[in-house]
Amino acid sequence: MSDRDVDRRSFLRLAGTAAAAASLAGCSGGGDGNGDGGDGETGDGGGNATDGEGGNETGTEERPEPETREEYLQRANLLLHEQAPWVYLNRQYSVYGVSNEIQWEARRDERIEAYAIQPQDGKRSVRITQSQMDSGLDPHDHRETPTDNIVLQAYEGLLGRDPEGAIVEKLATGYERIEEGTVRFDIREGVTFHSGEELAPEDVAFSINRIVKEDVGGLASPQRDQLAGVTGAEVVDGERAVRVNSDGVNPIVFQEFATYCDIVQRSWIEEHEGSYINSNMNGTGPFQLENYNQDVSVSFARYEDYWREPAPAESLEITAAGEASTRVNQLLGGETDLVVNVPPQDAGRVQESSGASLSAVPSTRIIYNAMVYNREPFDSTEFRRAMNLAVDLDSIIENVLSGFADPTGQPTLEGFVGYNDEVGPFEHDPERAQSLVEESGYAGAEIELHTPVGRYLKDLEIAQAVASQIDNLENVSCSVQQRDFQTLAGELLDGDLSTSPAFYLIGWGNATFDASQTIIPLLTSDGALTSYSSDRVDELIQQAQSMTGEGPGSSGADGDGNQSGNDSSSS
């Protein structure tokens, strides 16, 4: 194994599986999806078809070498558009139903901060209905959005995000990169836990270590990969600050802390057993737990000693209804104020009602069809591009998703660090698709699209539309195979590409707003859920991950908390 190989493997391990956000829309794992998986097939991808077959189609490699981290990511996105390892589908929208008795704006990261809800006309209490209840209240012992939305009312992190996704300070009053693998957070004064005790830097260091170290806090946290690269934290002697160490540069460390790592009180955690921590809460957030009726509802009261202004709502109740129509009926019946995941078929009912309205926002989740790069006929770039040209994405978005989606043409979503605005969705061109299939040598191919059912918004209907449009090509036939999500996820996460279907629909959420956390796990040779391997993509990402992204040409928050403009420089 060459040094370069070792280097690449270590950087990918450092970045971890980077399962970002809710990853497979809340998939809680499955298989041995470790970061160094894919040994054998993916690792041997150096001479694969994609490397030889189309990397220069539009002259990507004739362009000057990128200079900044963002340019490297943009270049990778351009290459991944040209190589077409996926059939690029849609960016999913988060669609909420909101009662007229409250004011609230949906966030792009699918989080519902009740602190931002403004009750109207003297209303004091707010009720939120999700699709599912929590799996326990320990803020470090879950990785699903419904649990997040309950826990985040009482717990907070060092950093947060505004509704547009920009980084803001929360329990940290300052943050900076001290050296390559070390960053520092200054801890806010005057913050108290709901128990009444004051927040100390020791609590912050303990919280970080509880997530990243298996032997701290009596828990092997399933969130460890959400702080990918972080190796531990310690209190800065004599100062109200914490030093966080990473294995390498870790360019997205602040993005990670803006999305993850709730702060808990060390003594409270150490004094109680897991089952107690899972059914009680002691955070610093705007609401404190009042009653926990597991599987049914969680009630909160406003925390009057909150370090910011107390929340506008005096009390808060979060419940769940698995059936979307039940949630919508509750909203229209005036029994709840905010419901999640309003399906397209019910959107009209909400819009037409006098007591509620829709709030829709592009989410951080992309829906795509992966085409495994070393399996016939998907080992041909021409064939993969043909599949993209065969799909009428606009029609799917209009007819299947009622317009609640955006088309995509690269793995990174608009507004993320590394998004390449030169790259648009593929045009629908069945004739060109047919000729590309001929060129690929796979005319007459029969392919099967595997899809989970009910996991993502209209997943089966999207898959059926895609398959039907591909099947309309004269030289390819395509059918749909419906799959149990857990079984499919297990096949994708077991680190062995040969066990996964060659063509499958899946969704990926990335709440770090950084391209690397989509490309590394899904499209690099050693990614936990990869379906693709290209030395050039690996190299571009490796370069990007060795840079901090701070300075000219970067976007998003830098180490000093500054927001620099979105550089539209192309790659």
Partner 1 sequence: MSFGRFLLKRTLQGVVVVWGVVTVVFLLRFITPGSPVDVVAPLDASPELRRQIARELGVDRPLYVQYFEYLAGLLRGDMGYSYLSGTEASARVFARLPATLELTVAATIVAVALSVPLGVISATRRHQPSDYAATTFSLLGISTPNFWLGIMLVLVLAVQFDVFPTSDRAFGFLESVGHLVVIAVDGPLVPPGEGTRLVVEFPLDVGAFGRTFTTWLSYIVLPAVTLGTYFTALITRLTRSGMLEELGQSYVQAARAKGLPETLVRYRHALRNTLIPVVTVVGLQMGTLIGGAVITEAVFDWPGLGTTVINAIQQRDWPILQGSLIVIGVGFVVVNIAVDAIYAYLNPRVVE
Shortest gap between Cβ of 506 and partner 1 (angstroms)? 15
Shortest gap between Cβ of 229 and partner 1 (angstroms)? 11
Cβ nearer to partner 1, comparing 199 with 320: 320
Exposed, middle or buried by CB within 10 Å (0-12, 13-18, 19+), for 100?
A: middle
Shortest gap between Cβ of 175 and partner 1 (angstroms)? 25
**53: helix, strand or coil:** helix
Cβ nearer to partner 1, comparing 71 with 138: 138
- C-beta separation of 117 from 106 below 8 A: no
Helix axes of 3-15 and 535-545: crossing angle, nearest 10 degrees = 60
Helix axes of 69-83 and 381-390: crossing angle, nearest 10 degrees = 80
Cβ nearer to partner 1, comparing 402 with 486: 486
Cβ nearer to partner 1, comparing 24 with 405: 24
Cβ nearer to partner 1, comparing 489 with 537: 489
Shortest gap between Cβ of 130 and partner 1 (angstroms)? 11
- C-beta separation of 397 from 403 below 8 A: yes
Shortest gap between Cβ of 334 and partner 1 (angstroms)? 8
Tokens at residue 78, please?
Answer: 């351009």
> What is d(CA 199, CA 191) in angstroms, rounded to the nearest whole number?
6
> What is d(CA 130, CA 126) in angstroms, rounded to the nearest whole number?
13
Shortest gap between Cβ of 252 and partner 1 (angstroms)? 16
Amino acid letter, residue 282: N
Cβ nearer to partner 1, comparing 476 with 529: 529
C-alpha radius of gyration, the chain, whole number: 23
DSSP strand E in 470-557: where?
476-483, 503-509, 556-557
Give me the residues paired with residue 318 across strands. 128, 298
Tokens at residue 564, please?
Answer: 């620099």
CA 204 to chain CA centroid, nearest Å? 24
DSSP labels for 167-224? EEESSEEEEEEEETTEEEEEEPSS-B-TTSPBP-HHHHHHHHHHHH-TTSTT---TTG
Shortest gap between Cβ of 198 and partner 1 (angstroms)? 28
Nearest to 412 by CA among 132, 86, 59: 86
Shortest gap between Cβ of 23 and partner 1 (angstroms)? 7
Cβ nearer to partner 1, comparing 32 with 398: 32
Shortest gap between Cβ of 491 and partner 1 (angstroms)? 9
Cβ nearer to partner 1, comparing 29 with 163: 29
Cβ nearer to partner 1, comparing 15 with 370: 15
Q: Residue written as tokens 């997530």?
A: 211
Nearest to 113 by CA among 371, 278, 300: 300
Q: Which residues bind partner 1 (CB under 8 A)?
A: 16-17, 19, 23, 28-35, 132-133, 135-138, 141-142, 214, 220-225, 273-275, 278-279, 293-296, 319-323, 325-326, 329-330, 332-333, 335, 484, 486-487, 490, 493, 528
